[in-house]
């Protein structure tokens, strides 16, 4: 029973897109809204500052003076109703103060703070005017200051005219524009979120369809997925899935074949063994003969089981990651040393030559390959004959040739000799040795051939030739590729 990750632990593509898109958009909207609010206030200040300037100029028209310069005495007749024409509504109020350059009150509100600033080098209007923010009667106000020369037939002087306006109207208009902007921006964010949800829903529809298709399959169906209408971004996933299913199908078929072959091939020696045991119990044969026959059957069954396990292990190693670097020449000499008693028993003239042959392979696979080939050659070589082992390299491949002086192989048998359970002599072999060799060579990306060696028009022996690619040794030059 398969276990999948909890839904709460899985990351939602829709949520990631919503967060990834909406968070920057909302951050930009907030920044843009605040910037727009400040720009709106600046624009409102610019617009309403004109009204303040007009108010100061209107007051300046109500001034009179007697005396000159520092001795000038200013007089102002400014009824408060004169400012009502500049009040835009009932929200904001306007206040004024008229004084001389020394700050002495001439007319207006005495508690209005005296201007202590200075006229800008480049005033915004063609007048000696300054605008600033202040506080009056506990409320923030915007103040316009006009330095107005006053002259009359009786004198000449300079008046400082201050007109202050509360900010209720400006702030109300700015907030009104702010909320209107926020409403439009919120609608924009909602539209973006809706579009993201719809687009993701549409874009992930092939994924859901593919998932439903896979769930509807039976457990044994491992055929490739066909989804020609899937988006291009899904094709690598589909191709990878097809690759995994192909490997699973191969492994499943290999497992079924192994179980089928094992049950079929082991049934015969076990049945023979049971018959021999029953015959021995009845006393049909002398005990020594019965035990020898039982021992031979057990040996054949053991050899068969070991070779079948070896065949399964080859497939297991084939599925593993990159194998380590192994020296074929070293393994070959060790195997030859292990089989030297059998070589001596058959009185063979044995010769071996090896070049350095590093390759990416599991040592067990190289050992199993060389042991099977050498054992077959020793077993089929006539006593007293010559057996040579030659390992040569050409920079790209290693060529292993094992040449004996045996009878060779029959042409009809050569076509099926690498198939499992196709032994030349069923009394001395199980027919798995060469099948194991071929599986190992294919796993290494090489080839194996068995060729009768002709001499004088007759078969002089058998050459088993294995060609496998080389690998670069650590610190050495890489292998040469064609």
Higher pLDDT, 72 or 460: 460
Confidence of residue 365 (pLDDT cuts 50, 70, 90): confident
Cα separation, 402 vs 378, in Å, equals 10
Confidence of residue 481 (pLDDT cuts 50, 70, 90): very low
0.85 cut: is pTM over it?
no
If you write DSSP's letter for every residue of 81-127 in order, what string do you get?
HHHHTT--SSS--EEEEEEETT--EEEE-TTSPPP-----SS-SSSS
Does the pLDDT of residue 9 top 70, yes or no?
no
Confidence of residue 5 (pLDDT cuts 50, 70, 90): very low
Over residues 348-357, the mean pLDDT reads 92
Over residues 164-171, the mean pLDDT reads 82
Which residues, other chains included, contact 140 with Cβ-Cβ below 8 Å and sequence gap of 6+?
133, 134, 166, 167
**Contact indicator for 95, 109 with CB cutoff of 8 Å:** yes
Does the pLDDT of residue 333 top 80, yes or no?
yes
**Contact indicator for 356, 394 with CB cutoff of 8 Å:** no
Q: Terminal CA-to-CA distance of the chain, rounded, Å? A: 49
Over residues 83-88, the mean pLDDT reads 57
Higher pLDDT, 158 or 89: 158
Long-range contacts, stretch 256-259, CB < 8 angstroms, 24+ apart: 258/308, 258/311, 258/312
Does the pLDDT of residue 392 top 90, yes or no?
yes
**Contact indicator for 357, 386 with CB cutoff of 8 Å:** no
In the prediction, which pLDDT does 420 show? Answer: 61
Over residues 283-297, the mean pLDDT reads 80
In the prediction, which pLDDT does 426 show? Answer: 42
In the prediction, which pLDDT does 332 show? Answer: 93
Does the pLDDT of residue 385 top 60, yes or no?
yes
Over residues 265-279, the mean pLDDT reads 74
* pLDDT tens digit sequence for 225-256: 777 777 777 788 888 888 888 777 777 776 66
Does the pLDDT of residue 367 top 70, yes or no?
yes
Over residues 52-77, the mean pLDDT reads 81
SS3 for 12? coil
- Which one, of 47, 55, 93, 98, lies nearest residue 76 by Cα? 98
Over residues 402-407, the mean pLDDT reads 90
Determine which of 30-39, 67-76, 368-377 has the lowest per-residue pLDDT on average. Answer: 67-76
* pLDDT tens digit sequence for 445-475: 889 888 888 887 788 889 999 999 998 655 5
Tokens coding 377: 């050659």
């Amino acid at each position: 029973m398969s276990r999948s990750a909890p839904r709460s632990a899985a990351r939602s593509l829709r949520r990631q897109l919503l967060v990834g898109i909406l968070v920057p958009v909302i951050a930009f909207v907030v920044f843009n809204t605040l910037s727009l609010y400040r720009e709106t206030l600046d624009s409102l200040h610019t617009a309403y500052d004109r009204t303040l300037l007009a108010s100061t100029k209107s007051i300046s028209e109500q001034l009179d003076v007697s005396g000159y310069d520092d001795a000038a005495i200013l007089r102002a007749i400014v009824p408060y109703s004169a400012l009502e024409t500049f009040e835009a509504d009932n929200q904001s109020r306007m206040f004024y103060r008229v004084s001389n350059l020394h700050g002495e009150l001439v007319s207006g509100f005495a508690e209005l703070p005296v201007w202590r600033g200075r006229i800008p080098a480049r005033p915004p209007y063609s007048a000696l005017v300054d605008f600033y923010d202040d506080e009056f009667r506990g409320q923030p106000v915007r103040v316009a200051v006009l330095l107005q020369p006053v002259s009359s037939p009786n004198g000449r002087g300079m008046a400082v005219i201050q007109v202050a306006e509360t900010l209720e109207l400006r702030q109300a208009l700015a907030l009104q524009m702010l909320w209107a902007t926020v409403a439009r921006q919120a609608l924009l964010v909602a539209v973006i979120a809706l579009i993201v949800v719809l687009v993701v829903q549409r874009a992930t529809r092939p994924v859901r369809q593919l998932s439903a298709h896979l769930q509807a399959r039976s457990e044994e169906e491992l055929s490739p997925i066909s989804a020609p209408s899937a988006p291009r971004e899904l094709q690598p996933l589909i191709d990878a899935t097809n690759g995994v299913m192909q490997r699973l199908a191969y492994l499943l078929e290999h497992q079924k074949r192994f179980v089928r072959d094992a049950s079929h091939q082991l049934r015969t020696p076990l049945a023979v063994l049971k018959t021999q045991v029953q015959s021995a119990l009845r006393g049909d044969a002398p005990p020594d003969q019965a035990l020898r026959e039982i021992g031979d059957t057990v040996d054949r069954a053991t050899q068969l089981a070991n070779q079948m396990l070896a065949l399964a292990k080859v497939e297991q190693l084939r599925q593993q990651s990159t194998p380590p670097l192994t020296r074929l020449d070293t393994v070959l000499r060790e195997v030859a040393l292990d089989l030297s008693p059998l070589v001596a028993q058959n009185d063979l003239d044995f010769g071996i030559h090896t070049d350095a042959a590093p390759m990416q392979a599991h040592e067990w696979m190289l050992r199993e390959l060389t042991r099977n080939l050498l054992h077959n050659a020793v077993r089929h070589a006539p006593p007293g004959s010559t057996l040579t082992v030659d390992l040569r390299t050409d920079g790209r491949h290693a060529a292993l040739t094992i040449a004996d002086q045996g009878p060779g192989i029959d042409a009809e048998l050569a076509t099926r000799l690498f198939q499992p359970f196709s032994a030349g002599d069923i009394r001395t072999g199980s027919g798995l040795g060469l099948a194991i060799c071929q599986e190992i060579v294919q796993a290494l990306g090489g080839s194996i051939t068995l060729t009768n060696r002709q001499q004088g028009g007759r078969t002089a022996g058998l050459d088993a030739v294995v060609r496998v690619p080389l690998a670069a040794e650590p610190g050495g030059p890489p292998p040469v590729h064609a």
